[in-house]
Amino acid sequence: MTCPVANVKPTECQVPLKIICYNCSQKLDVSEVAPFTKIQCPVCEVPIIVPKPFGNLLLEENLGEGTLTQVYRAMDITLDREIAVKVLKKEFVDADLSQAFINEARSSSAINHPSIIPIYSCGEMEDKPYIIMQYMEGLSLKHKLKKGILLPIPDICRYFSEAAAGLEFAGVQGVSHGNIKPSNIFLDMDANIKVGDFGLTRIIETSQPLYQNNTLSPLVTLEMSYYLSPEQISTGKHDLTSDIFSFGATLYHVLTGSPPYTRDSAIENIRAHFEGPPKPPVELRSDVPEELNKLIIDMLSIYPSNRPRSFREVQDCLTKITSSINISEKKDDASARDVERPLIERKIPSIRQVAFQEEQVKRTNRGKTQQPIVVRDADDSTEADRDGVDKTPAGILEEEGHSILYSLLYYVPIVIIVLSLILFIAHTRNIPIYNRTLRPYVEKILGIESQSDASESTPLKVKPLQK
């Protein structure tokens, strides 16, 4: 018998599982379909992943696995919230290890920092210890590396500065990480960094070396071998200094696109840690700033005493590098703009400049057909125009003379017209002060008989009163 929805063989399922298509809201019975199988809705034909019930959770997608855990994208049915669930692998499940797993989850949940993935809950379901945490939609830096594109250096410095802030805060709380690598550093949808998987490696920590007598512990995978510190390899334990080494190896990988040691197997990578330092990052990426190159070399030192003393020191260094890069980029952009678009300060030409340019055009065009006069700013004149102007003292005086003449010709008629209007109004309105001062002179100039003289020569005729 096969399922008519997915056309796959049925699997055992204790309870019926019914889901609703997110596109058309069609109800589907997928009780006989294997979990995480991709099917198509029979109505609208959109792809659907069959979830797996896990208590009050629905495990919707297998995101991958680490050394100890399997990671799922899930839905919390009670809170209607998308989450990430880490489930301890079967081979590590026993009474002591399960309890240690839960205890580490509880201690990590006490760390509340913007750069650390929050833990919502933990427990056991179907004899499997699990941790519920925030789901990071932006995925991890490991997914960025898989695309094969080198990230911009300012972005890398900001990412690792935020991660260093979270690791410093956790260290103050007495919690070290122990497994820093690109797959444990995540981006949210706003491109903010969050570090996850705190303290999980401590549950399998032993006092035995991870590499001894040419034998490598089965717990060490190829991915882990890229980032383990020499003292962690030698003793099997980790602390703040080993975290700083792993942080430097992760930064090296994200910056250059290649881990510090790139051998074909985990045991060869472990041996390479003791053969000498890796290539400086600047040899693999030429635009790496010298300060960043030195910081990574210091973090990857085989001697813990030569590494930065804390993540706060690493964070401060990365912040300074980011600031210097931003300042340098602003200067380069300003220089490029100056070269491409020279700044020209435009000025409004004065009346003297206009008059001088008009006179120059008139003198040049004497005897020729009159052409339109083009008035330009002084700064817009060409070299040929400037070479044609006499800059000697005599030439300057001649220029000043033309300017004065133009002013007289322009303003004197206006003044005469205005004064004439004033005199006309005063004369016709018989303004007293005008009659006493200017009126006799004006009438004399114009040959008009004064009204005062006429009144003296012609006596008034007064009609006598009748008795």
- Summarised one tens digit per residue, pLDDT across range 125-170 is 888 899 999 998 878 899 889 888 889 999 999 999 999 999 999 9
pLDDT-derived band at 39, boundaries 50, 70, 90: confident
Residue pair 119/108 in contact (Cβ under 8 Å)? The answer is yes
Hey, what long-range contacts does 279-282 have (CB within 8 A, 24 or more apart)? 281/252, 281/255, 281/256
Q: Tokens for 434, please give them.
A: 């005008």
pLDDT-derived band at 185, boundaries 50, 70, 90: very high
Q: What is the pLDDT of residue 337?
A: 53
pLDDT-derived band at 8, boundaries 50, 70, 90: very low
How far apart, in Å, are the Cα atoms of 260 and each of 156, 228, 240, 299, 317?
A: 17, 11, 20, 12, 21
Question: To which residue do tokens 């206009």 refer?
Answer: 354
Q: Which of 43-57, 198-212, 344-358 has the lowest mean pLDDT?
A: 344-358
Which residues belong to CATH 3.30.200.20 in the chain? 53-135
Residue pair 321/291 in contact (Cβ under 8 Å)? The answer is yes
pTM over 0.85: no
Return the H-helix or E-strand segment holding 322. Answer: helix 311-340
pLDDT-derived band at 191, boundaries 50, 70, 90: confident
Residue pair 71/65 in contact (Cβ under 8 Å)? The answer is yes
Measured from the Cβ of residue 127, the count of other Cβ atoms closer than 10 Å reads 9
Task: Give residue-wise pLDDT tens across range 83-95.
Answer: 999 998 888 788 7
53-135: CATH class: alpha beta
Measured from the Cβ of residue 213, the count of other Cβ atoms closer than 10 Å reads 5
DSSP secondary structure letter of residue 373: -
CATH architecture of the domain formed by 141-336: Orthogonal Bundle (1.10)
Q: What is the pLDDT of residue 457?
A: 44
How large is the angle between the packed helices 290-299 and 240-256, nearest 10 degrees? 140
Main-chain dihedrals φ then ψ at residue 20, nearest 5 degrees: -120, 130
DSSP secondary structure letter of residue 152: P
Q: What is the pLDDT of residue 24?
A: 87
Query: How many whole angstroms separate alpha carbon 308 and alpha carbon 315?
Result: 10
Helical segments of 127-180, H only: 141-146, 153-172
Which residues belong to CATH 1.10.510.10 in the chain? 141-336
Query: How many whole angstroms separate alpha carbon 376 and alpha carbon 357?
Result: 8
Of 326-330, 373-377, 405-409, 414-418, where does the model show the most confidence? 414-418
